[in-house]
Structure 1
C-alpha cells in the first residue's frame, strides 16, 4: 500500500509540475487597437496577427494568451475619450504585463506607446501613417534602438493611379478629398509629393473638417478633374459640430459624384468606391504578428528595422463601374478582387 501511495504521489507531483511548466511557457500578447472591433480594417489586422502567430507555432489556448483592447477613437474623437482610453490601456498593460504588445494605427502610438519607450514591454506597431520617429520611441527606421519596432502603412498611390489608367487611359487630372483626421493628413502630404513625381495634375486637394466643405469641394471638382481620390471620410462634422456617420458621407458622395473614384483600402472599395490597389490590413497584421513571434522567441525589437509590407490588393467595385457607365477590361477582372454590391456603411 505504501508503495502504491508513493507511486500515486509521485505521479501527481509530475502532473502538477508539467501543468505549472505549461502555464509558465504560455506567452501573453496584447493587441492594442486604436479603433473598434467592427471596423473592417481592424478585423483584417487582427486576423493577420493571429495567422502569423499561429504560423510561428503560437496558438491561442495552447501556448498563447491573446488579449485585445479597443480604444474606439474613430467613433469617439474627443480628447476626453482618448485620454480616458489611454489611461485604461496603460493600466491594462501594467496589470497584464504582456510579453509583447502589438499596437495598431497612429492613435495607439501617440496616446500609449510613446509612454512605453525603454520599459520592459516589447512593442510592435502596425498601421502607422505618420513618421513613427515623431512619436519619440525610435532612433531611426533602420536601427530602432529601443524596445519598439514595427511596420508602416503607406498608401499605394502609384499603383492605384496605374490601375485607374487601365480603366480610364486618358485620366490625367485628379482631385483629392479627405477628412481632416490624423490618419489622412500625412497621406495628403505624401500624395502631393508623389503626384509631382508622376507628372499628374492635382486640380484640387481638400482636408474637409465639415460636411459642407466636403460637399462643396466634390461639386466644384466635377468639371475640373478626371478622377476623384477619396482618402478617409470618418471625421467630418455637421453644422452643429456633431460627427457625421461615415456612411452618410459616402452615400452622399456616391450619389453626387460622377467621376471615377480611387481609394486606398479594400474596405473603401467594398463600401462603394470604384477602385484601388489597396493597402492590405491582413498584410499589416501578418507582418506585425511575425515580428511579435520572433520577439516571443527571444529576439529584441531593436534588431528589426521598420519596413513597409510590399503586397497590396487590386480591388474594383463592379456595381459602381456600372453606375458610372465604365467598362472594366475582362483581362483586368481576372486578376482583381471584385465587389458587385455596395456594403451598408455605418
Structure 2
C-alpha cells in the first residue's frame, strides 16, 4: 500500500509538470509569435513614408514582432487591387492601408482580415466605415484631415495674403481629393473667394495643369493629393516664377517648397494607427469597435526661403513656426 501511494504521487507529480510545461510552451509561443503585416501604399512620398515609419514604431514599442510585406502601387489604382488580392492570398494577419485608394482596394478584397488605414481624408465618404465613432466591419484607422485645417488655411490666404482666387491642382479620380476640394468650395462661398480647378490624371500632368492657372489665380492650395504631391516641385517652380503663394496640406510639402501649412506630423497619425493594430493583434479589440481617430495636433508651419522668393514678409507671430 505504501509503495502504491508513492507510485501514485510520482505519477501525479509527473502529470503536473507535464501540464505546466505545456502551459509554459503555449505562453512562450504566443509571446514570441511573429505577425505577418501586409502594407499597401498608393505611392512613395515623404508624408506617406513617415506614416509607415510611425506605424512600425508603434508595433515595435509594444513589443510586437512583425514581418512586413510592403508594396507600392506607383500611383495606379489597378495596382492597388492587385496588391490587395496578393496580400489576402498570402494570408497576412493584418493589412496596413496607407491612402484612401489602398484602403478601398483592401476592403474590396477581404471582409475577414483586419484592416487599419491612415492617410485617409474622408473615411465615411469613401465608404470604408459606417461612422467615425462606430466603424463596423473589419476596418478602422486614422484620418489625415483635422477639422480646422482647411478653414484656417483659407482664412490665412484671405486675411494675411489678400487672396481672392485660389487655384487647386488635384486628381479628380481620388475620392480623398474631391472631398477636400468640395469642402474648400463650400467654405469660400461665405468668404468672397473662389476656387479655380485644374484636374490631373498622372504626375506627368501636374506642371501643365499648374501653368493653366496662370493669370486666373492669385494663390494656390495644394491639398493632400497623392498624385500632385508626388510632383510638388513642378507646382512650386511655376508658382515661384510667377510670385504666387502656395499653401499646402502637410508639413513635408512645406519643407519641399510650399509657403506654409496648417498641419500635423504624418508620423504621428501612422503611430496612432499602429497602436490600433496592436490592440487588434493582441485580441484586445476588434476594428469595428475602435473609433476612427483625427490628428491630435494642428499648427502653422512656414518656409522662410519660399516666402523670400515670392516676396512675402514673415510676421513675428509666424517666426516660431518656421520649417527647418
TM-score by length of 1: 0.73
Quote the residue 2:140 is aligned against: 149
Note the 1:21-36 alignment, pairs <5 A.
Answer: 21-26=27-32, 28=35, 30=37, 32-36=39-43
Please, which runs of 5 or more residues in structure 2 have no aligned partner? 1-16
Change (3 A) 1:87 1:152: same
Change (3 A) 1:325 1:252: closer
The structure with more radius of gyration: 2
Change (3 A) 1:290 1:323: same
| Distance (Å, rounded) in 2 between the aligned partners of 1:78 and 1:114 | 13
Q: Which moved more, 1:17-26 or 1:280-289?
A: 17-26
| Distance (Å, rounded) in 2 between the aligned partners of 1:24 and 1:213 | 50
Alignment of 1:262 onto 2:266: no
Q: Is the 8 A contact 2:218 2:244 kept in 1?
A: yes
Per-residue CA distance 1:113-134 (angstroms, 9 max, x = gap): 23322x2x33222221344464
Quote the residue 1:227 is aligned against: 219
Q: Is the 8 A contact 2:142 2:294 kept in 1?
A: yes
Change (3 A) 1:232 1:311: closer
Deviation at 1:201, TM superposition (A): 0.9
3-state SS of paired residue (1:259)? coil
Q: Which moved more, 1:207-216 or 1:182-191?
A: 207-216
Quote the residue 2:165 is aligned against: 173
Quote the residue 2:95 is aligned against: 101
Q: Which moved more, 1:303-312 or 1:13-22?
A: 13-22
Note the 1:115-154 alignment, pairs <5 A.
Answer: 115-117=109-111, 119=112, 121-132=113-124, 134-135=126-127, 138-154=129-145
Change (3 A) 1:338 1:33: same
Quote the residue 1:91 is aligned against: 89
Deviation at 1:263, TM superposition (A): 0.5
Deviation at 1:233, TM superposition (A): 6.8
Q: Is the 8 A contact 1:31 1:66 kept in 2?
A: no
Q: Which of the residues 40, 48, 68 maps onto 2:46?
A: 40
Q: Is the 8 A contact 2:177 2:223 kept in 1?
A: yes
Change (3 A) 1:203 1:165: closer
Change (3 A) 1:86 1:68: same
Alignment of 1:71 onto 2:71: yes
Quote the residue 1:187 is aligned against: 180
Q: Is the 8 A contact 1:227 1:260 kept in 2?
A: yes
| Distance (Å, rounded) in 1 between the aligned partners of 2:160 and 2:25 | 60
Please, which runs of 5 or more residues in structure 1 have no aligned partner? 1-10, 237-244, 340-346
Change (3 A) 1:333 1:16: farther
Deviation at 1:181, TM superposition (A): 4.3
Q: Is the 8 A contact 1:49 1:287 kept in 2?
A: yes
| Distance (Å, rounded) in 2 between the aligned partners of 1:76 and 1:225 | 28
| Distance (Å, rounded) in 2 between the aligned partners of 1:175 and 1:310 | 28
Quote the residue 1:293 is aligned against: 278
Q: Which moved more, 1:282-291 or 1:204-213?
A: 204-213
